[in-house]
Amino acid sequence: MGRGVTIALAASLAANVFFGGFVAGRLTTGDTIERDFGGPGAPRRAGGGPPSRALGQALSLSDNARAAVREAIRPDMGEIRRDRRRSLELRRAVRDALSAEPFDREEARAALQEMMEFHSSREERRTDLLLTVFESLPPDERKEIVAAFSDRQTRRRGRRFRRDEERATKPPH
């Protein structure tokens, strides 16, 4: 084999290992699996991450809301810890399925599906909790939080989103 062919094969192998590691890493890092692969109820979002994360961050701007979140979470701390451990187990199962030799597509699909379903149900519970907290706040505080939530979403979407929004609100010529 010539030297050029050997170099080309080594470069190809390095690129494939890099790409495989990149894909495996993205697949096994929590909620990104839902966003990247359109898991149940998880459309791709410009801001990244589930909407409850942005709502939670907006709620954290208010002292009342932070206290209400702490009170709402307190009874569920055991379940939250179990969920965290379960999430790690599912990620491990996905990693194992993706790196198994020989590769079993159905086993990998089942592991990914189980992880997506788990994260989807966890997202639903998180959303319900945040809505319960939001509902308990006075109207003026809710308005402030909605403004913070909207500002955050608009900033994250950036200039292109604002430009598209401006075009949509301009009357036709």
Within 10 angstroms of residue 66's Cβ, the number of other Cβ atoms is 13
76 pLDDT higher than 80? yes
29 pLDDT higher than 60? no
Q: In this structure, what token pair is assigned to residue 146? A: 């909605």
Q: Comparing C-alpha atoms, which of 157, 90, 78 is closest to residue 119?
A: 90
24 pLDDT higher than 70? no
Domain ranges of the chain: 3-154
What is residue 107's predicted lDDT score, i.e. its pLDDT? 94
Distance CA 74, CA 67 (A): 11
Is the whole-model pTM more than 0.85?
no
Residue type present at position 76: D
- Stated length of the chain: 173
Identify the band that residue 102 occupies on the pLDDT scale cut at 50, 70 and 90: very high
Place of tokens 């084999």: 1
160 pLDDT higher than 70? no
The residues, any chain, with a CB within 8 Å of residue 5's CB and separated by 6 or more, are: none
Identify the band that residue 91 occupies on the pLDDT scale cut at 50, 70 and 90: very high
Place of tokens 């470069």: 11
CB 37 within 8 A of CB 94: no
What are the Cα distances from residue 92, in Å, to 12, 80, 135, 140?
28, 18, 37, 45
